[in-house]
Amino acid sequence: MIIGLLKIIVFPGFIFLTVYGLLFEYLDRKVHARLQNRMGPPWYQPLADFLKLIGKETIIPADANKTIFQILPVVSLAAVAAAFVYVPVFGKASIASFQGDLIVVLYFLSIPTMCLFLAGWYSRSVYSTLGSVRTLTQMFAYEVPLFMALLAPALIAKTWSITGMTAFYAEHPLYILINIPAFIVALIAGQGKLERVPFDTPEAETEIVAGPLVEYSGRLLALFRVAIDCELVMVASLVSAIFLPFMTGHAVLDFILYLVKTVAVLLFLALMRSVMARLRVEQMVNFCWRYLTPIAILQIIINLLVRGGLGL
């Protein structure tokens, strides 16, 4: 019981997640900066930013709904932390798992996006309202291909649990090759989920200042920032657990492998962010429905055929 709680709260649960999230933000910024021929921040910069924000005054707009305005960052962080419980980090198994936890995790991951939407909506500012509308529009575009891309590998693994899928693919590593299209779709849709360039229309700085978070400040903004960092870790972990399930069987070695895999995913996401311009919201929706969704559907059909053909 106590060990279980410690696992959830300290390692590999919440505290590990936040620390790794801040580290991820540093890596992301550093790589982004180096690709841009800049120096980039020192390693403690995300922590310093976080501490600074915590010390700042929190201003809540007079028109905003106070309770919801304050509760949203917490809900958003809690949802990501809850989702992280079901992803294998240390060793083969996650902290908790059951049949169907993949679906639960996907829905947990939708909560931060919904929180962002509500945050913008309840801020009662034109910029944030516009940002929220864009957040929601974008969500309808990437959510479908992302879900399908993550569910397609489950068809071959014949399990809806992330731990189960990881174990299956670790035993049959060659099946991963079938899932390569879904892997690419998941990475691109994941970039959309994380609202990073080229899909950062909701917070497009040069158009609507900061989008949904424009009215947030101080502690609440710090929490939102941490939630976004944790979401980055979460997406990288989920993608690497499903599409890169290479295992040694030794817990510590697997943990190191986990770090390597997630950092590799992050590097790809950072590269994508550095080499592209921001798309318009309708270009983004077009792109998702015209290219990502058909590829994801194709992947599902392929996986069904493979499953039938191999008599799995």
Partner 1 sequence: MSEYNRVVIPIGPQHPSLKEPGCFTVTLEGEKIVDVVLGIGYNHRGIEKACESRNYTQIIYLLERVCGICSHSHTTVFCQGVEELAGVEIPRRAAYIRVIVAELERLHSHLLWLGVAAHEIGFDTMFMYAWRDREAVLDILAAVGGNRVNYGINTIGGVRRDIDDSLRQDIVKMLDALADQVKYYQELALTETTLAARLAGIGKLSGEDALKYGAVGPVIRAAGIDFDIRAVDPYAAYGEIPFKVITDTHADVFGRTVVRILEMLESIEIIRFCLKNMPDGDIVTKAPRRIPAGEVISRVEAPRGEDTHYIRSNGTERPDRVRVRAPSEANWHAMRHMLLGQYLADAPITIAAIDPCFSCTDRAIVVNSGRETEVMDWPQLRQYSIDWYKKRGIDVAAIKMPERRMYF
Residues in touch with partner 1 (CB under 8 A)? 35-38, 126-127, 129-130, 197-198, 200-201, 204-209, 274-283
Q: How far is the CB of 130 from partner 1 (least distance, A)?
A: 7
Q: How far is the CB of 124 from partner 1 (least distance, A)?
A: 13
Which of residues 49 and 207 has its CB atom nearest to partner 1 in the complex?
207
Q: How far is the CB of 212 from partner 1 (least distance, A)?
A: 15
Q: How far is the CB of 134 from partner 1 (least distance, A)?
A: 8
Q: How far is the CB of 183 from partner 1 (least distance, A)?
A: 22
Token pair for 282: 């309708």
Which of residues 123 and 179 has its CB atom nearest to partner 1 in the complex?
123
Which of residues 155 and 270 has its CB atom nearest to partner 1 in the complex?
270
**CA nearest to 161, candidates 116, 96, 232, 223:** 96
Which of residues 35 and 136 has its CB atom nearest to partner 1 in the complex?
35
Which residues, in sequence order, are CB contacts of 47 under 8 Å at separation 6+?
A: 22
Which of residues 37 and 67 has its CB atom nearest to partner 1 in the complex?
37
Q: How far is the CB of 269 from partner 1 (least distance, A)?
A: 14
| Cβ-contact 191, 271 below 8 angstroms | no
Burial of 50 (0-12, 13-18, 19+ CB in 10 A): buried
Which of residues 130 and 150 has its CB atom nearest to partner 1 in the complex?
130
Which of residues 106 and 197 has its CB atom nearest to partner 1 in the complex?
197
Q: How far is the CB of 281 from partner 1 (least distance, A)?
A: 7
**CA nearest to 22, candidates 187, 197, 232:** 232
User: If residue 108 lies in a helix (H) or strand (E), which one and from where to where?
Assistant: helix 101-123
Q: How far is the CB of 29 from partner 1 (least distance, A)?
A: 12
Q: How many CB atoms lie within 10 A of CB 223?
A: 21
Which of residues 13 and 211 has its CB atom nearest to partner 1 in the complex?
211
Supply φ then ψ for residue 305, to 5 degrees: -65, -45
**CA nearest to 106, candidates 59, 178, 154:** 154
CA separation for the pair 271, 299 (Å, rounded): 25
Taking phi over 0 as left and psi of -120 to 50 as alpha, with beta for the rest, 252 belongs to alpha
| Cβ-contact 255, 90 below 8 angstroms | yes
CA separation for the pair 116, 212 (Å, rounded): 6
Block residue for tokens 């982004």: 32
